[in-house]
Structure 1
Amino acid sequence: METTKFAKFTAEFLGTLVLVLMGCGSAVIAGADGTTGVGLLGISFAFGLSVVAMAYAIGHISGCHINPAISVGMVVAGRMKAAEAAYYIIAQTLGAIAGAGLLYLIVSNQAIFEMKEWALGSNGWGKGYLGEYNGTAAFIAEAIFTFIFLLVIFGSTSTKNINGGFAGLAIGLSLVLIHIVGIKITGVSVNPARSIGPAILAGGEALKQVWMFIAAPIVGATLSAAVWRSVLEKS
């Protein structure tokens, strides 16, 4: 029986909600300090494991994009129609906002809670943000990391890949790798929805800078899809 649009919408909504709640939650609640919290490595695995878990939970329903850049990439690669991608992106964005909202409801009820700049695991760059990399470094990193992320997705889900059953694991681990390298630069987005959700609630610099985390991942995803479709898939 064909999966309904509503089921796909719901799957993408819930999957993105979980990604933001658990990934950003690991940074906000579990802590970036490796001495008293999970540290940057732990945060990296939280994002990656969220993708692995959701891949096996909803992958058979919607493909588990939970990321507008992936949906755009699938359209460019010819694997998805633009109309379907549009409602995927709406579901993903709403799911990310809901995930950030749930995270806010949890952490705001802690006695010492303070809504600081780039709160709720928001992405950013520049003075005051983690490694204080500038906008150029941030854009390049986000575009390149998304390019690599999409290559893993295209390759691991290809019908030519005899190890396709491990696609969810490969995709999740690639996101772990990207976070290990990139957290200090931008906090790592490679996912416009993941950035939009926390930024809307955090406001301030996070909201001012969110355009970067929409534009750069889409550029990276588009380039990756073009390379995959025109070069690698034909090999």
Structure 2
Amino acid sequence: MTDHALDLAALREATDRFLGAAAAMDDLAAAAPSRLPGWSRRHVLAHLSRNADALVNVLQGRPMYADSETRERDIERDATRPLSEHLADLRGSAARFEAAAAVPADWSRTVTMRNGVTDSASRVPFRRRIEVELHHVDLGVGYELEDLPDEFVTREIDFLTERFAGHPDVPSTGVAADDGRFWTTGGDAEGGPVVVRGTAPELLGWLAGRRDGSALKTEGGPLPALPPL
């Protein structure tokens, strides 16, 4: 069972790490490209702030975003700001999310995410942590997939293999970490079954679209192409 209280504590630690990395930049560094195509580091900062507010909406029973166009427009608008404003916004939006999560509530209730996806409210803090941890890597400032806490890596692989399970565009796939951990994912697409082997961080990088999978080994067929997240 998901423990939202533990996830909130882990989220605070991840947020502190992210804020420390962001505060170590200057305006020139913040304007440099991130590892996400078409996004500067300031875009990443803007997205994280607006994502926190969007998840407040989720916890309070409102639509996560008004629509996809508003989401993209708000990121582009906020990405032009100086670093000092980004830092203030990151701290303020994180505080708003924490305050919303502190309100007594039924954490077993079903909430609606973006694009009509539903989930348990108890998983919202972990979903926020995913955003913070992976986008910290996306900044390209020295925090790598290999630096992510091992328990986070395991849970995020759990999360992503569950997400792709039964997907018609992904063949039946075994995901095998070098340390013996094993997951299954995929569906009825042609080409399976395939087993993909590698270190847990490399597997996470492939599943999350952060690495091309060239460091992984496959058995039974080529490396499956995964749909975008």
TM over 0.5: no
TM-score, with structure 2 as normaliser: 0.32
TM-score, with structure 1 as normaliser: 0.31
More strand by share: 2
More helix by share: 1
Structure with bigger RCO (C-alpha 8 Å, 6+ apart): 1
